[in-house]
A and B are shown apart, each in its own frame.
Chain A
Amino acid sequence: MSNVQNSAASEIELQVMWNRLQSVVDEQAQALMHTAFSPIVRESGDISAGVFDVEGRMLAQAVTGTPGHINTMAESVKYFTEYFPPETMAEGDTYLTNDPWLGSGHLNDFVLVQPSFLDGKLVGMVSCTSHLVDLGGLGMGPDGSDVYDEGLMIPPIKLVDAGKMNDMLMQLIKYNSRAPFQNEGDVYALIACCDVASDRLASMMRELNITSLDRVGTYIFDTSRRITEAAIAEVPDGTYTHSMRVDGYEFEIDMVATMTIQGSTLKVDFAGSSPCSRYGINVPLNYATAYSVFGLRCLFAPEVPNNAGSLGCFEVTGPEEGCILNAPRPAPVAQRHILGQIMPDLMYGCLHQAIPDRVPAEGSSCMYDLPLRGGFEMNKGQDATQYAVEVTHNGGTGARPGKDGLSVAAFPSGVYGAQVEITESVAPLLFRRRELRTDSGGAGLYRGGLGQNIELESRENQPITWFATVDRVKYPALGRDGGLNGAPGVLRLMHSEIELNGKGKQEIPAGEVFDFRTPGGGGLGNPKERPAALVAEDVRLGLVSREAAERDYGVVLTPDSEVDAEATRNLRG
């Protein structure tokens, strides 16, 4: 057989290897999910798993629940190689950090890296990340004044030294936590997950009879970069600046991005953004980058997997003096995801200037969490159940080019919404309502997704403490191209009609009902151009009220909810 055929067969093997590496990281992620303790891990897959070459370049990463690990893991492994140069790595080593600036933006995320060996030779590295339940300090709330208040911080350190467990480190991790045994279990699960990946990597290399990942790496990086660059090159060159105002904590925050597209390069900088908050809603640059790049990757060749080639096409920087999207040490960062989750909207604001027909309107974007506690402040002898739950809910997504937004759907996070029956079983709470919020989706040619109305109270007639971490209460999701804004979130006490704040610890008094309405997504395009029949269908389904149909869409309905063609024509002009 000719050499041409030989190289053809080996090209097929490269394709097989790329698929296999993707499968290795999926298997790694499943192994971790299977044993993890933290509810957020199992409910939303808040983990990450990746395979790297000997230079620390990422070859493949598992598609897991939350985008916060995109980029952060890839960057993190590079830091590890600075602390532990490859020539010093030994078989059986595993390294660990939870430094928010080296890892994944807050202390709860543990990042592990393990060198992988084949017949005694270093052939690559594997890494995984998982969210641990508790690391002491003030916990996950935003009220720490700096990162040291937020819990135990561990620099890149040897967790396992040539097969020998660093018991002292494990003791520290347990001793500094309110959930010592869960932490221990999670750390062992992370190690096991790295072991699985190293093992699979070696067995793939044996089966395919290769001794180095260089060739497959080059193939993956080149292919991924080429396709991603081609997608960027389709966007008109230019510099696009966009500014968004969001609620913030003690002051309103401007999130500003300047995106420069030149040929096949795309750069983003956050100069002009507000300074850091004194509360833990600040975002380290690695994390701001992760959600920015996630938003961009949804538009630019999303079919290309995450790796050093595809991620390398996007360059994100922050101003040197720091800002809330490039929070310097030792800013508090525990709740960095509130603003982090709004990053895709910021990116789409820039891109809307370049490719207006490809980007969605703004969505509710940040999760609507209900971390609730009760029973702890009671005097002894009072009959109140002690509980602490973290219930996640969401609003609507922005209208999409050619399609309405999704009602009550997490984007960009992948966190599951809780089931009422489960929440009521684990805590003495009673939900009075959980229904779509009529008229909350921004009107438009394409309508924004709807938020939801939740009403809840204590089943034991006791006060409830709420640790608020939500945004878009003052500033709603904006519509685009004539589409109207989505409804902002509403947080109030139903009987006394007192409005609550979107951030910080607050109390829902005994006997009160908490009225918690999540935001709707923005609309896209002129609502007057939405086909009247679709508006009538929305009214029949109860998504839009008759009043809003007339007011926002200019559509008049007959008493049996059909379009009144003449009245509509007159109103729409």
Chain B
Amino acid sequence: MSERILDRLAVDIGGTFTDVALDHGGQLVTTKTLTTPARPIEGVLNGIRAVIEMAEIAPNQIGTIIHGTTLASNALIERKGAKTGFITTEGFRDILEIAYERRYDQYDLMIDKPEMLVRRDHCWTVNERIDADGKVITALDEESVRAVAEQILENGIESIAVCLLHSYLTASHERRVREILQEVCPDISVTISADVCPEIREYDRACTTIGNAYIKPLMASYLEDLSGAITAEGIESSLFIMTSGGGMTTLDTAIRAPIRLVESGPSGGAILACQVAEQCGADKVVAFDMGGTTAKLCLLENYKPHRSRQFEIARAARFIKGSGLPVRIPVIEMIEIGAGGGSIARIDSLGRIAVGPDSASSDPGPVCYGKGGGKPTVTDSDLILGYLDPDNFAEGKFRLDRDSAEAVVAEQIGAPLGFDATVAAYGISQLVDESMANAARVHAAEWGQEVAGGTLIATGGNGPLHASRIADKTDIDRIIIPCAPGVGSAIGFLSAPVSYEIIRSLYCRLSSFDASLVSRLIAEMETEARDIVRAGNNDDALNEKRVAFMRYDGQGHELEVIVPEGPITAETGEILRQNFEEMYLDMFGRLVPGVDIEIINWAFVAATMTTPPAKALIPANTNPAKPSGKTRIYSRKDEQMIEVETFNRADLSTGDRVEGPALIAESQTTTLVARSFQAVIDSAGNIVMNRIG
């Protein structure tokens, strides 16, 4: 049998569209089909059939399918998960209710706590105790577990989360609880915290375990159905599932730990941004994805996204940090703000224009969609300012109604402030851009960085339109608009590695570094991560990384310090100190002598190797591109509508140059080249805009 090279296919299920991208021997075939919420698998199959037809291949030509989905997130947001119960150590029934004892909005006396996924009367305790050294000080009372099992059956619980104190050090009690439950109530799904989140901090670990338990039955049946349906299509490929950390994992792991799948869609966008950054040699990047309801921002450094170990689900107030339940999983760090095309503008109580976070979303949508929307949105103001072509929006599927948009913007925003529709639209536009720029700056500061002088990579239906003004407000001099910015996540999936990351807590101070303890922990992590990655890819060499999360005693922020290769010995502690001090000096300019250094967590990542993309080049000689027409847009400098040239992106080729102000249109978005920028098409087809003068 001759070896043939099989194709890779990526599927991303979003709220509105399911995106499919096929890599057929280097040729990219993409499609967007409507998501079918009642049975999402149908949308997936529709998309797969469409690209198979477009690429004219046989189904068995597909060797790998990579799948990302918002299903897990939606089940949490819409509270559609299983009826879940919680078991913890006696005396600690209220880990969930007590949380961090904190109110997330200082000035609002009337806030509600985030809604728990488990009612207090479904929180039970068992008699046992492990101390902070991992020693059993009270043996597990198995009768107390059996008594809880009776309660579980009586209350019709479908899924159980078990989180006992200090189980991240000693998991034997949790495992025994699971065994007993499987014996007494075999139909009930059980998640133990030592499996999904072996990290210190009982509240975070409990929330992660509960989140997993809550979506596990639903995700298991969905993933098993999907796997069956794909086989039924005649595709004999391996199925991989995208995780929030930006890698992909096997079906089995996904079914066991579905909490790692939340937010996998946006992580695809970040992977694509990393690829584009590497193509273009942009080492400091703000990846900016502005869609219909929100904008997402992610910082990239040296072609890698900032990563974090915490995410929030089920927020009481969607855009307020701290209002949700913490989930400790490896994630690509992003912030989401309520600023998209559908974001609604209003006059606040201080007489100022405020935009979002409320959104007209896609139904009824902005006023100009003519689908009954009566509130002014960002898209309405973009239309009034001339950035959108009313006749060629969404591939000409429907015509935008500019008159209605003007009337509503003039009435609801213009009239109270004494502005006409154009100035009011300019105000909406300015303030939404300002809020995105502010979010980017403050987010960078949270990481001890700044965005000025970096590169902006803009995607999403509205990103390329707003990018240049955000760049102006953040002192960014280069903007890149990748190819097919509308299906970025699916394309990103195609280049994701098979990877798995484990984080475990083992508190130690460098002054009393215990090499044998650390060595044992790391060996366990290595075996687990390698096994999972090998299950998905048996052949290739692996990229492996060991990390210690270190800080000065008493400090809040930890640095991720690389653990040297080879066996862990007493010397490792000294190397870690040197590595930490070097990194600290680099970031903060001075060391803190005399203060002990502590290690809180350890991480191990195993991933298959990926090939870096070819460098994108800009020819030495660029040529003025040929415009496709003219239109009128609002100019801040002239304070009036001015005439500019428009271009079709499909007509542009490498080396073509567009001087701002101008618009470059493509099927799912429009790029605004501001007056202060000049755009060039590079050899990879990216639009690269550089600030001039």
Partner-B contacts on A (CB < 8 A): 1, 4-6, 8-9, 11-13, 15-16, 18-20, 22-23, 26-28, 30-31, 33-39, 41-43, 63, 65, 67, 133, 180-182, 184-185, 188, 196, 200, 203, 207, 223-224, 227, 297-299, 301-304, 360, 392-394, 400, 402-403, 406-411, 414-417, 419-422, 424-426, 430-436, 452, 455, 459, 540-543
Q: Which chain A residue lies CB-closest to B103?
A: A409
For the complex formed, measure the closest distance between the CB of B328 and the CB atoms of chain A, giving whole angstroms. 12
In chain B, positions 460-492 with a C-beta closer than 8 Å to chain A are 472-473, 475
> How many residues of chain B are within 8 Å of chain A by beta carbon?
76
Q: Give the residues from 576 to 606 in chain B that come closer than 8 angstroms, CB to CB, to chain A.
A: 588-590, 592-595
Least distance between A275 CB and chain B CB atoms (Å): 32
Which of these binds chain A: B171-179, B196-204, B284-292?
B196-204
Q: Which residues of A sit under 8 angstroms from B200, Cβ to Cβ?
A: 419, 421-422, 425
Q: Which of B5-13, B68-76, B238-246, B437-445 lies at the binding interface?
A: B437-445
A203 to B291, CA, bound (A): 29
How distant is A306 from chain B, measured CB to nearest CB, in Å?
9
Q: Is the CB of B201 within 8 A of A422?
A: yes
**A207 and B472: CB pair below 8 A?**
yes
Distance of A343 Cα from B121 Cα, bound (Å) = 36
Verify if B611 is at the interface (C-beta below 8 Å from A): no
Among all A-B residue pairs, the 5 with the closest Cβ atoms: A42-B556, A417-B101, A23-B438, A433-B91, A30-B445
* CB-CB under 8 A for A542 and B120, given A34-B445, A185-B592, A403-B110: yes
Chain A minimum-CB-distance residue to B439 = A23
Residues of A within 8 A of B131 (CB): 424, 430, 459
Chain A residues contacting B119 (CB-CB under 8 Å) are 541
Which of B100, B426, B448 is in CB contact (< 8 Å) with A417? Answer: B100
| Chain B hits for A181, CB < 8 A | 592-595
Asked whether B146 is an interface residue with its Cβ less than 8 Å from the other chain, the reply is: no
A289 to B120, CA, bound (A): 39
* A6-B639, A31-B445, A406-B113 known; A297-B107 Cβ under 8 A: yes
- Told that A408-B97, A408-B98 touch, could you supply 9 new A-B pairs with CB distance under 8 A? A1-B639, A15-B352, A16-B430, A27-B441, A182-B592, A207-B473, A408-B94, A420-B202, A424-B131
Contact A419-B201, Cβ < 8 Å, known A42-B556, A299-B109 = yes
Complex contact B507–A425 (CB within 8 A): yes
Partner of A23, one of B165, B431, B441: B441
Tell whether, in the assembled complex, residue A9 and residue B639 are in contact, meaning their CB atoms are under 8 Å apart: yes
B102 located at the interface, meaning its Cβ lies under 8 Å from any Cβ of chain A in the complex:
yes
User: Do A12 and B423 touch (CB < 8 A)?
Assistant: yes
Q: Give the CA-CA distance A13 to B595 in the complex, in Å.
A: 48
Q: Does A410 contact B442, Cβ atoms closer than 8 Å?
A: no
Known: A408-B98, A417-B101. A19 touches B435 (CB 8 A): yes
Interface residues of B in 509-568 (CB under 8 A from A): 552, 554-557
Flag if A414 contacts B639 (CB, 8 Å).
no
Bound complex: CA of A22 vs CA of B99, how far in Å? 30
Distance in angstroms between the alpha carbons of A241 and B131 in the assembled complex: 52
Q: Which residues of B contact A409 (CB under 8 A)?
A: 101-103, 113
Question: Mostly helix, strand, loop or mixed at chain A's interface?
Answer: helix
List chain B residues, Cβ under 8 A from A180: 594
* Residue of B119, B165, B442, B593 with most partner-chain A CB within 10 A: B442
Least CB separation from B594: chain A residue: A181
Cα–Cα distance between A16 and B475 once the two chains are bound (Å): 16
**Bound CA span A19–B353, Å:** 11
27 A-B Cβ contacts within 8 A? A6-B639, A12-B353, A12-B427, A15-B431, A16-B430, A19-B431, A22-B438, A23-B441, A33-B556, A37-B555, A38-B554, A42-B555, A42-B556, A182-B592, A400-B110, A406-B103, A406-B111, A409-B103, A410-B101, A410-B103, A416-B100, A419-B200, A421-B165, A425-B200, A425-B507, A541-B119, A541-B121
- Known pairs A11-B417, A303-B349, A434-B94; A5 contacts B103 (CB<8 A): no
Q: Is the CB of A436 within 8 A of B94?
A: yes
Does B446 sit at the interface, judged by CB under 8 A? yes
Contacts of A185 on B, CB cut-off 8 Å? 588, 590, 592
Proximity string of chain B (325-354) to chain A, C-beta cutoff 8 Å, 1 when within and 0 when not: 000000000000000000000001111110
| A42:B106 contact, CB within 8 angstroms | no
Contacts of B557 in A (CB 8 A): 34-35, 42
Cβ of A227 and Cβ of B445 under 8 Å apart? no
Query: In angstroms, how far is the closest chain B Cβ from the Cβ of A86?
Result: 28
Closest-by-CB residue of A relative to B352 is A15
Taking CB as reference atom, which chain B residue is nearest A38? B554
- Asked whether B632 is an interface residue with its Cβ less than 8 Å from the other chain, the reply is no
Q: Are A421 and B132 in contact (CB under 8 A)?
A: yes
Cβ-defined contact, A8 with B419, below 8 A? yes
CB-CB < 8 A to A26: which residues of B? Answer: 438, 442, 445
With contact pairs A409-B103, A434-B94, A540-B121 given, residues A419 and B203 touching in the complex (Cβ less than 8 Å): yes
B142 within 8 A of A: no
